[in-house]
Amino acid sequence: MAVKLVLITGVTRGLGRAMTEEFARLGHTVIGCARSKDGVEQLRRQLGAPHDFYMVDVMVDEAVKSWASLLLNTYGPPDLVINNAGLINRNGRLWEIGDREFAEVMDVNVRGIANVIRWFAPEMVRRKRGVFVNMSSGWGRSTDAEMGPYCCSKWAVEGLTQAFSQELPTGMAAVALNPGIINTDMLRSCFGSTAENYISPDQWARRAVPLLLNLGPANNGKQMDIPRV
């Protein structure tokens, strides 16, 4: 497979970190961002060139705009964009979740994706090539008590992705991906110790990354899942 330029948001933890390391291990170039300065610096030291990582908050449109301008001028349009950055609310009934917490979940999980699309899609559309993967969840297609804000955000991701897929030219694709249940910090925040019953991010990435690399125009608009073994 030809070397691909892969852009990933939320690269310093969980699935983002695991995907970054697996894409790099397979010989692809990863450019990514996260809010953690220490995490970004650690990845830079660990992986080095040609990979590159920046401290960017996807909630901040101007920050994403500046980052996109830098990357597009340096690398050109990415082949694969994975909108992975995400937050989950603390367990609580909807009326117990404050406005600020609700807004932050929505801002990262939905507006963050829109911001990345806004500044990277135009150059990819001009080239008529590239795939966007927007991370959804099982809770983007079902619901559960005490997860109202997160469910709301992931249902929004599904709708946003479907609409976006209809706007893309032939040769491109946008998919909403349900990664499944993985033992991450986010899962532990709502599942507690039972999260240990599920696979690790590294195990998941070894299964998921080859599938992500093979996504193409035939997948446009699909709701996708990473199959369990």
pLDDT at 189: 79
Contacts of 209 (CB under 8 A, 6+ apart): 19, 22, 23, 26
pLDDT at 95: 98
CB-count exposure of residue 143 (10 Å: 0-12, 13-18, 19+)? middle
Q: What is the rounded CA–CA span in Å between residue 41 and residue 17?
A: 13
pLDDT at 187: 65
Mean pLDDT by 10 residues, the chain (229 residues): 95 97 98 97 97 98 98 98 97 97 98 98 98 97 96 98 98 97 77 80 95 98 89
Other CB atoms within a 10 A radius of the CB of residue 170 amount to: 7
pLDDT at 199: 79
The set of catalytic residues is 150
Q: Report the interhelical angle of 14-25 vs 201-213 (nearest 10°).
A: 60
Phi, psi of 226 (to 5 degrees): -85, 115
Whole-prediction pTM: 0.95
Domains of the chain and any CATH numbers: 5-103+111-125+173-225 (3.40.50.720)
